[in-house]
Every structure is written in C-alpha cells, then in structure tokens.
Amino acid sequence: FLLLASQRHSPLLSNMGLSVLAYKATAFFIPRVGAAFIRRGFAGKDMNKIEKRVIPETMGAVSALVYFMCMILFIPILFYKYLVPERSRDQQDDQLNVLNDGYASVAKTQFPHDQLGAYLSAVISILSISLLGIFDDLFDIRWRHKFFLPAIAAIPLLVVYYVDYGVTYVSVPTLLRPFLKRTVVDLGFLYYIYMAAVAIFCPNSINIIAGVNGVEAGQSFVIGLVVLCNDLISVFHQSNTEAMRAHLLSIYLVLPLIGVTAGLLEYNWWPSRVFVGDTFCYFAGMVLAVVGILGHFSKTLMLFFIPQIFNFILSVPQLFGFVECPRHRLPRLNVKTGLLENSYTEFTEGIPLPKKTLLTIRVFEALYLIRVDWDQKTKKPIRCTNFTIINFVLYHFGPMREDRLTLCIMGIQLVVGIFGLVIRHGIAPLVYPQ
C-alpha cells in the first residue's frame, strides 16, 4: 500500500496503508503490554464472568498511542507535494541543488498552512482528551468534574472552524420557508456552543454505553464505518472543492481510528482478555466529534449518535439524581443460565421515596423504558431496572449471552447509521434544496 501510495503520491492510499499498519500494531502490542499494565495497577475485574478474573484495563491507551504515531507519520505524506515540488521530484539534473532554495521558497508560499492548522488542531484536541481518559482510569475522576473538560479540549477546533469556515447558519426546510420567510437561520455564537456540546457529548456518551465485553469498542467501530461511508458518498458527490477537502480530512482521521479500534476489539471481544478503559471511550468519542466538526457535518453526526442520545436521555433520571444511581449499571450474570439479565436499583424498604422518584419511575414504566417490581400489598416499588439502553434491550428481548448483547447494540448502531445516511443523502436534498 505504502509503496503504491508513494509511487502515485496519493495521501488517501497512504492513509489506508497506515490504517492497516495501525490495526496490526495495536493487535501486536496489546497482548505484549498487558502484564505491565496490571503491574502498574491498570486492571479491572470482569464482573460478568463466574470466576471474575482480573484483566488489563486502559488498553485504549495503546490504541490512542498507535493512532498518534499514524497521525504524526502522515503529516509529511499529506503535504508531500508541497515539500517536494514537481520539478525536483522528476528532474535529476545538476541544476537541482542550485534551484533547491528557490523550490523551498515556492513551497513556503504555496504551503496550505490552514490545512496543517486544521490537522494539528485535531491532533491537539484528541491528545488532550486522551490524557483526561488516562487520568480518569488512574484516579476515577467524578463525572461532574470531568464532564465539561472536552469543551476546553475542543477550543483549537472551534478557532480553526471560525477562521477557515465560519458557517453558523442552518437551512430552513422547504415546508417551513413560507412561514419563516427565509431560507437560512443564522445561529451565530450559539452554533459554537452547539459544537462544544457535541465535543462534550460524544466522549461521555460512549463511556456510558459500557460494561459488556466489546460494547465500547464495538459501537465506536460501527460509527467509524458509518462516518467513513458518509465521507465517501460526500467526496464522490461533491463538486465543491472546499467540502471535498473537509470530507477527505475526515477520512484521514477516521480510517486510522477504525484500524486501532479493530485491533483493540480483537482482544476486547467476549470473553475479553483486556478492557478498553475510559481512555478509549474518550479518545474514540473525541475523534468522532473532531471529524464531525472539521468535516462540517456535526448535525449528520448526531444522527449516527441516536443510540447514544437515547441512552443519555434514558440515563437522565439516574445521572441527575432523581433515581439512585449505583456505581455500576452494567447487566448481571445469571450463573445458572450463563446469560446476562437486567441489573436493578433496589429501593430500601421502609424509607419513603421522594415524589420526583416515584413520578419518574411511573412515567418511564408507562413508556416501556424500564421494568418496575411493585410490592402487591403496599403498592410501593421494590426495585427497577437501571436506566440504560443495555437494560432496555434486555428488558425487551430477554436475557442473552454477553457477545449477543454486544452484537445487538452494534446491530442497532448499524441500522441507525444506515438510517442516518439515507436521511442525509436521500431525503435531506429533497427537504433542503439549495
């Protein structure tokens, strides 16, 4: 790949080659560093197994490290044609040395500093959030302390967006145009708040669809593939070079993510030999947020995150203290059947529940989002299933083996992704004609 790519001077081919290498390198290093990670305390108990083995955690750090190596190696490849101008590549004459200085100054004036700026801002944002993930794995930071930090990590991206692109308006659908009497609505500064919110949401939302072998890496892998499809469709259908360049940049960032995630998934798949850690969830979530922002498709990205949005809305009562939130909301293993079942939040007998708790569980039960066990005599709730998409799936489809549950979540993610692609490329052009 790399040979072919260098002969053709194709950054895309090189990026594909690097992504395959990234997959291989991740799969090579993970089994070799596991013991060292356990010695340093990066380890976790696999709670949904009978013997509850302790296995290495924070393996997302390996994925992130390999990813950064790729990103850095890719810089000279991406800008090769500016670093080595056409004539000096083809001509092997004596004048070359004399002319080299001249070429350097030509390269300097033509060099797309804006593209390098965008690329480096992506690397800085992803790097800083991966650092937060490592600290979280080390010290278990409370979620209210770490929740807003991704917005700070996104500042370089937002600055680049402002300088390079600066589009803050949204199109008004055809049906609403006669009422609003305009074709676009400018959101101005609010659009930057929205993008910061995307950067906060993506890493955190992946981290709370977790606790089942392979589910964190599995959902990221599927979203990565869907984003790649969206970029490819956009690149082939775009006549606008600006938009094409934005989608190409997104491809360069997402392909290596798919590579390192596949390498990690190999060892994180049921029965897991390693855990991904918060590092991976933050890292992968941030890469996806970054490609959405720099690729100028952050609204389409939210269509791909519908399962995470659903899980977040479902989690609100527990995240905001309306209903007690246990440290772990992952499903529970039934040792007799070997299948995963719902996990519950138990209500202590004799202690009256606040009105807001009672109202919440009644509403969520009526909407078939949770199951509640009621005491037939006192008519008080005994326990309710935890408010997560994983428990929701188990409630509706019944107990299942751990790998099937992960496949189920990945399947939902894929169907939603295809739905998002159809909305964006099939329906949106009809509803928002240019």
What minimum distance in Å lies between the beta carbon of 256 and ligand UD1?
23
What minimum distance in Å lies between the beta carbon of 216 and Mg ion?
7
What minimum distance in Å lies between the beta carbon of 141 and Mg ion?
11
Among Mg ion, ligand UD1, none, what does residue 304 contact (CB within 5–8 Å per kind)? Answer: none
| C-beta of 212 vs 249, nearer to Mg ion | 212
What minimum distance in Å lies between the beta carbon of 123 and ligand UD1?
25
Q: 3-state SS of the chain?
A: CHHHHHHHCCHHHHHHHHHHHHHHHHHHHHHHHHHHHHHCCCEEECCCCCCCCEEECCCHHHHHHHHHHHHHHHHHHHCHHHHCCHHHHHCCCCHHHHHHHHHHHHHHHHCCHHHHHHHHHHHHHHHHHHHHHHHHHHHCCCHHHHCCHHHHHCHHHHHHHHHHCCCCEEECCHHHHHHHCCCEEECCHHHHHHHHHHHHHHHHHHHCCCCCCCHHHHHHHHHHHHHHHHHHHHHHHCCCHHHHHHHHHHHHHHHHHHHHHHHHHHHHCCCCCCCCHHHHHHHHHHHHHHHHHHCCCHHHHHHHCHHHHHHHHHHHHHHCCCCCCCCCCCCEEECCCCEEECCEEECCCCCCCCHHHHHHHHHHHHCCCCCEEECCCCCCEEEEECCCHHHHHHHHHCCECHHHHHHHHHHHHHHHHHHHHHHHHHHHHHHCCC
Among Mg ion, ligand UD1, none, what does residue 211 contact (CB within 5–8 Å per kind)? Answer: ligand UD1
Closest CA to 420 of 244, 227, 269: 227
Distance CA 427, CA 420 (A): 10
| C-beta of 137 vs 231, nearer to ligand UD1 | 137
Q: Which residue is nearest to Mg ion (CB)?
A: 278
Chain residues binding Mg ion by CB under 5 A are 207, 210, 278
Among Mg ion, ligand UD1, none, what does residue 280 contact (CB within 5–8 Å per kind)? Answer: none
Phi, psi of 380 (to 5 degrees): -110, 150
What minimum distance in Å lies between the beta carbon of 394 and ligand UD1?
14
What minimum distance in Å lies between the beta carbon of 59 and ligand UD1?
11
Among ligand UD1, Mg ion, none, what does residue 27 contact (CB within 5–8 Å per kind)? Answer: none
| C-beta of 156 vs 331, nearer to Mg ion | 331
| C-beta of 265 vs 301, nearer to ligand UD1 | 265
Please, are residues 212 and 331 in contact by the beta-carbon 8 Å criterion?
A: yes
Cα separation values, 421 from 133, 239, 302, 424, Å:
30, 19, 11, 5
| C-beta of 66 vs 210, nearer to ligand UD1 | 210
What minimum distance in Å lies between the beta carbon of 47 and ligand UD1?
4
| C-beta of 9 vs 49, nearer to Mg ion | 49
| C-beta of 164 vs 216, nearer to Mg ion | 216
Among ligand UD1, Mg ion, none, what does residue 230 contact (CB within 5–8 Å per kind)? Answer: none
| C-beta of 118 vs 210, nearer to ligand UD1 | 210
What minimum distance in Å lies between the beta carbon of 327 and Mg ion?
11
| C-beta of 43 vs 83, nearer to ligand UD1 | 43
| C-beta of 254 vs 409, nearer to ligand UD1 | 409
Among Mg ion, ligand UD1, none, what does residue 328 contact (CB within 5–8 Å per kind)? Answer: ligand UD1
Q: Which residue is nearest to ligand UD1 (CB)?
A: 44
Among Mg ion, ligand UD1, none, what does residue 44 contact (CB within 5–8 Å per kind)? Answer: ligand UD1
Among ligand UD1, Mg ion, none, what does residue 57 contact (CB within 5–8 Å per kind)? Answer: ligand UD1
What minimum distance in Å lies between the beta carbon of 388 and Mg ion?
13
CA-CA-CA-CA dihedral for 420, 421, 423, 424, to nearest 10? 110
Among ligand UD1, Mg ion, none, what does residue 296 contact (CB within 5–8 Å per kind)? Answer: none
What minimum distance in Å lies between the beta carbon of 277 and Mg ion?
7
Among Mg ion, ligand UD1, none, what does residue 231 contact (CB within 5–8 Å per kind)? Answer: none
Chain residues binding ligand UD1 by CB under 6 A are 44-48, 57, 207-208, 210-213, 272, 275, 278, 328-330
Distance CA 394, CA 379 (A): 25
